[in-house]
């Protein structure tokens, strides 16, 4: 009877350990999931209005940039670029890339804004570390039947000003 009692206590102890261990693993799993989820902070209506205004202003600047490129003023666009962008591509290479990418497409026609995305990179890939805003346009060109996607990208520079950092067309 004593041996049965010891076995029963040992089994109960092992079951308790298993339950505690499973509970700890479950708690650790929940904590890991929470750590991967973005932290959502509430902002005031005034802060949201300021962010909305910033996005509208950035979208307008992006539209002005693609219009300058339409007018063969890509050099002026590059001249206003962030130092980060100027490190990535020289002025001559930027002008050559724009001429190459846009040359076969023809004259731009209808251009529709497709939205704005906020991005953050840690510098581990092809993009430098920092906060970015990408503005997209769906643009119809005269020499191709399908529209193309124009992307204008801005980076938040060290002085907390958003500056042009890139243009791409696909």
pLDDT per residue over 17-38, tens digit each?
Answer: 333 334 444 445 555 555 566 6
Report the percentage of the chain scoring pLDDT > 70: 76
Among candidate residues 105, 170, 109, the one with its CA nearest the CA of residue 144 = 105
Q: What are phi and psi of 144, to 5 degrees?
A: -130, 140
**What local confidence, expressed as pLDDT, does residue 2 receive?**
43
**What local confidence, expressed as pLDDT, does residue 37 receive?**
61
Q: Which residues contact 114 (CB under 8 A, 6 or more apart)?
A: 136, 137, 138, 149
**Strand stretches in the chain, DSSP E:** 108-121, 130-141, 148-156, 162-169
Q: Which residues contact 9 (CB under 8 A, 6 or more apart)?
A: none
The pLDDT tens digits of the residues spanning 37-49 come to 666 678 899 999 9
Q: What is the pTM of this model?
A: 0.73
Domain 47-169 grouped into CATH 3.65.10.10:
no
């Amino acid at each position: 009877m004593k041996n049965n009692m010891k076995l029963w206590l040992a089994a109960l102890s092992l079951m308790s350990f298993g339950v505690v261990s499973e509970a700890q693993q479950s708690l650790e799993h929940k904590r890991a999931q929470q750590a991967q989820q973005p932290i959502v902070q509430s902002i005031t209506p005034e802060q949201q209005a300021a962010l909305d205004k910033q996005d509208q202003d950035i979208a307008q600047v992006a539209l002005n940039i693609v219009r300058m490129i339409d007018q063969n003023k890509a050099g002026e666009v590059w001249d206003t670029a962030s130092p980060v962008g100027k490190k990535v591509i020289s002025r001559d290479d930027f002008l050559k890339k724009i001429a190459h990418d846009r040359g076969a497409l023809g004259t731009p026609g209808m251009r529709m804004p497709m939205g704005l995305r906020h991005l953050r990179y840690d510098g581990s890939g092809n993009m430098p570390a920092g906060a970015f805003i990408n503005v997209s346009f769906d643009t119809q060109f005269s020499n191709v039947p399908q529209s193309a996607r124009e992307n204008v990208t801005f980076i938040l520079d060290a002085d907390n000003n958003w500056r042009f950092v890139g243009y791409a067309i696909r």
